[in-house]
């Protein structure tokens, strides 16, 4: 997992950033063109999917940066 730590962190930050950008742009009336299909199911479901993008990104970054070897400090 150590060799892929940077890749997973990048993917997590991208997911969180895209989700956050989509929500902010939606507040001002703009949309990211590749996420327009999400809002076709309704505004609430689109908002929830964008929140899931943010949360999934944060979880991926957290897991990528965690040390599961058990050799860390207490």
Between CA 9 and CA 17, with CA 12 as vertex, the angle to 5 degrees is 125
Mean confidence (pLDDT) of the chain? 89
Domain-wise residue ranges, the chain: 2-65
Backbone angles phi, psi at 71, to 5 degrees: -100, 10
- pLDDT category of residue 13 using cuts at 50, 70 and 90: very high
**Alpha-carbon distance 15 to 2, whole Å?**
20
Over residues 37-48, the mean pLDDT reads: 92
Other beta carbons within 10 angstroms of residue 60's beta carbon come to: 19
CA nearest to 50, candidates 63, 61, 36, 62: 36
């Amino acid at each position: 997992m150590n060799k892929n730590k940077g890749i997973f962190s990048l993917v997590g930050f991208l997911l969180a950033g895209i989700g956050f950008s989509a929500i902010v742009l939606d507040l001002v009336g703009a949309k990211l063109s590749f996420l327009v299909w999400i809002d076709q199911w309704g505004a609430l479901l689109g908002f929830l999917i964008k929140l899931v993008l943010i949360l999934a990104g944060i979880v991926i970054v957290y897991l990528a940066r965690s040390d599961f070897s058990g050799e860390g400090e207490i």
